[in-house]
Amino acid sequence: MNYKNNTIKWSGIFFLFFLIFSSLNTNASGSETHESKKFEPGKFIIDHVIDSYGWHITTFKGHSISIPLPVILWDNGKLVTFSSSKFHHGNSAYKGYALGFTKETNGNIVKLKENVTGHFEKDPEMIAESSFYDISITKNVCSLFISISLLLGIFFSIAKSYKKRPISAPKGLQTLMEIVIVFIRDEVVIPSIGTAKYAKYLPYILTLFFFILINNLMGLIPIFPGGANVTGNIAVTGILALITLLITSFSGSKSYWKHIFNTPGVPWWLKLPIPIMPIVEAMGIFTKPFVLMVRLFANITAGHIIVIGFISLIFIFGEMSMGVGYALSPLSLIFYLFMGLLELIVAFIQAYLFTLLSSLYIGMAVEDHEAHEGHATHESDDTHPVLEPSVKNN
Amino acid sequence: MELITPDFGLIFWMLIGFGILFFLLAKFAWPIITKAIAERENYIQEQLDAAAKVKDEMKNLQSEHQLLLAVAKEERDKILADARKIVEKMNEDAKALRDKEHEARMAETKVIIHNEKMKAITDIKNEIAQLSIDIAEKILRDELTSKERQEQIVHKWVDELNLN
């Protein structure tokens, strides 16, 4: 009972903070809109959803407060590093580098034709054609590192407790994580991969689940160290999907490849002379991780957009009239709170889905189809019964 | 920075970051955690199995106990019944013996009584004979006190002799 009460208390405190921070956020953004030009909700939302070179926290009395992050550029075998604060939010150049100002280069670092530092002419003609690699520690990269350190901290401490007290009841954080770990093992990995081969893939699936989950949850915290849209970034979800694709392909059994290039139970004229089925199946290898990538990216980004959209409503109406803005803010906050709760669920569902589908794909790859050889109909991946609830969730 | 074009920098750091995370967790955290969980699960299962086994054994033991108790009871009853029978038999035997002895004694007694009776009767007879002789003597003496009488008797006897 005590435990339960504690949980309720903590979640209560958490949501209180949620509210306070969200109102802080609105105040900050509010001053921004009044100080500067007209409020552009579209730009406001996209700026919050995409990556940036600095970690903007708030704008206080016209001064933007943000954490400057290091810019690292690999330019023709030369490493250039400097603080992103040198850009002064796009108004200044540094050593010939500046934040993009044209439509194509918007927000990205561009190299200027002249090695200027400080104020520069925002002339598209000035942009040099030369390419360089941009490996800056952006907001998302920074958030990524924070999440990774958190994960390492959590799981190393848990591993230590397991080592210290073997064969005894779990305690604290260990209890919480053990439930999830056992759930992933017993409900996700073992049913999809099978008891014989699951142990090899369990570490990857567990890492994947907790990585996605913690980044989803960090994204819901409106202020530093959260608020970055890591799992709503296509590069991040793309890499995760790519790793799943590589694991699936490299652990594919003989029958898995046979299923792709010479699908049993399919009429011969679908394979010869035009290999329709092999092409479709080969495309399936790539569409599966592609769908994984897009699903996670779209769900998390959409959630962020809606949440910020509700906050933007206050300023859209506030611009019309101060009174309407204030009058509408409680309603907007209620919507925001509702969306926040929904996003909390989505954070878990999407982490679960990504892991479930990843382990299903791996399971399909490692499975021996010998038993199904005689089947008249080919079992398409999309008609897999386990997949059906996932489709509903989207 | 665009919404749907992946940035090279993020891809780069994501690969490195996730790689390091996976390597460290897969090397130092997951094996320990999953092994510990599996070990504990096994341990709990073993304990449960052992408990169930002990329970079964207890049950068996109890039923064995009861069986033993029942057998013992039966045996006791049997022993008791046997003992009773033996006692009865012994009683009967004793009675029979007693009766026999009694009878024998009675027979003996009867013989003795009979003998004593016969003896007594003989004694009485002898006594009576003696008494009769004595009486006859007395009578005779009385009878033969007077002379006439003596003569009378002698005469008589002589007469009788004569007759013979």
Burial of B148 (C-beta count, 10 Å sphere; 0-12/13-18/19+): exposed
Structure tokens at B46: 């073993």
**What is the per-residue DSSP string for A150-185?**
HHHHHHHHHHHHHHHSTTS---THHHHHHHHHHHII
Measure the CA–CA gap between A215 and B98, rounded to whole angstroms. 111
Please count the other Cβ atoms lying within 10 Å of the Cβ belonging to residue A131: 9
Q: Number of folded domains in chain B?
A: 1
Give per-residue pLDDT as tens, A139-172: 899 999 999 999 999 999 999 999 888 888 888 8
Q: Does A207 touch chain B (CB under 8 A)?
A: yes
Low-confidence ranges of chain B (pLDDT < 70): 1, 162-164
pLDDT digits (tens, 9 = 90+) for A16-71: 555 444 444 444 444 444 444 678 888 888 888 888 888 888 777 777 788 888 88
pLDDT, tens only, A332-383: 889 889 988 999 999 999 999 999 999 999 998 988 765 544 444 444 444 4
User: Under a CB-based contact definition with an 8 Å cutoff, are residues A171 and A157 in contact?
Assistant: no
Domain ranges (residues) in chain A: 70-136, 140-393
Q: Does the CB of A162 have a partner CB in chain B at under 8 Å? A: yes
Cβ atoms of A190 and A200 closer than 8 Å: no
pLDDT tens digits, residue range A99-155? 887 777 777 888 887 777 877 777 777 777 777 888 888 889 999 999 999 999 999
Tell me the pLDDT band of A7, cut-offs 50, 70 and 90.
Answer: low
Q: Which residues contact B133 (CB under 8 A, 6 or more apart)?
A: none
Instruction: Report if residue B39 sits inside a domain.
Output: yes
Which of A242 and A321 is assigned the larger pLDDT?
A: A242
Predicted local distance difference test score (pLDDT) of residue B145:
75
Residue A89's pLDDT is 76
Domain span holding position B13 = 9-146
Residues of B in contact with A202 (CB under 8 A): 30, 34
Task: Examine the predicted complex and report whether its ipTM is higher than 0.85.
Answer: no
The pTM of this model reads: 0.73
Assess whether pLDDT exceeds 90 at residue A290: yes
The rounded mean pLDDT for chain A is 81
B7:A235 CB<8 A: yes
| Yes or no, beta carbons of A238 and B39 under 8 Å apart | no
Separation in Å, CA of B47 to nearest CA in chain A:
12
Instruction: Give the CA angle between residues A250, A245, A365 to the nearest 5°.
Output: 55
Is residue B158 assigned to a domain? Answer: no
**H or E, element range at A80:** strand A78-83
Smallest Cβ–Cβ distance between B32 and the set A138, A162, A211 belongs to A162
Residues of B in contact with A235 (CB under 8 A): 6-7, 10-11, 14
Q: Would B154 be classed as within a structural domain?
A: no
What sections of chain A are H helices per DSSP? 2-35, 41-49, 139-164, 173-183, 190-193, 198-220, 234-250, 254-261, 276-320, 322-366, 388-393
> What pLDDT, on a 0 to 100 scale, did the predictor assign at position B1?
61
Under DSSP, is residue A373 helix (H, G, I), strand (E, B) or coil? coil
Report H helices in chain B.
8-24, 30-143, 147-163
The alpha carbons of chain A give a radius of gyration, in whole angstroms, of 25
Write down the pLDDT at residue A23. 46
Evaluate whether residue B3 is within a structural domain.
Answer: no
